[in-house]
Amino acid sequence: MVKVPTRDRLVEAASSRFYRDGFRNVGIDQILSDVGISKTAFYKHFQSKDDLLLAALDEKGIWLYSMCQKIVSENGGPTPEGQLRAIFDLVDAFLQQENFHGCFFVRAAMEFPLPQEPVFQAAARNKLTFEMFVTQLAANCGVKDPSELSRKLCLIIEGAYVTHHVTQNPETIRIARELADLAIAQALGDK
């Protein structure tokens, strides 16, 4: 069995707690209890709970990017259009998770709503990374304005996350895919 470094265990435990219970609602003692370490051990890795939160956001961003690449590669097939549409396979997988509570980054930005706050900036940076990934997929399709299509698709994704979280409607992904199909068809028709 591979021993997971303490820093990684802290980030993983914090991510789970923050996502489930809210960023401001979670105390450092809860995370330390989850990991089974002392405050002294914690401070060897992070200066504060906020530093841990920033690390959790960045690690979640790295994980999301790798998941996007994996899903697009595995589900998208050989065509750029198929790869673009595969993004909604990832959305579907998220929506089907029993513990789905919406977008991790949006939740962070809502709890830290001031644009100058480091948490807000980290959340925004990670959202932008995802949008740039979708923009590249759209550019690979040869559409006239890949950024415009990416913004539309990202808005549809956010709407799906919120709608599903609030209503638990199992039709959410079908509706999101239909809206995405319309946006993609329009962009492909405007080439």
Q: pLDDT tens for residues 154-183?
A: 999 999 999 999 999 999 999 999 999 999
Range of the domain at 140: 49-189
Tokens found for residue 179: 């809206």
Residue 11 lies in a domain: no
Residue 2 lies in a domain: no
Lowest-pLDDT range, 2-6, 10-14, 33-37, 122-126?
Answer: 2-6
Residues for the chain: how many in total?
Answer: 191
Residue 191 pLDDT level (bands cut at 50, 70, 90): low
Residue 158 lies in a domain: yes
Tokens found for residue 71: 């899903």
- Ramachandran category for residue 74: left, alpha or beta (phi over 0 → left; psi -120 to 50 → alpha): alpha
Q: In this model, does residue 63 exceed pLDDT 80?
A: yes
Q: Cα 136 from chain centroid? A: 17
pLDDT at 4: 82
Residue 41 lies in a domain: no
Q: In this model, does residue 1 exceed pLDDT 80?
A: no
Other residues' Cβ atoms within 10 Å of the Cβ of residue 13: 21
**CA of 181: how far to CAs of 56, 159, 187, in Å?**
33, 15, 10
Q: Give the CATH number of the domain where residue 149 resides.
A: 1.10.357.10
Residue 108 lies in a domain: yes
pLDDT at 3: 81
Residue 95 lies in a domain: yes
Number of domains in the chain: 1
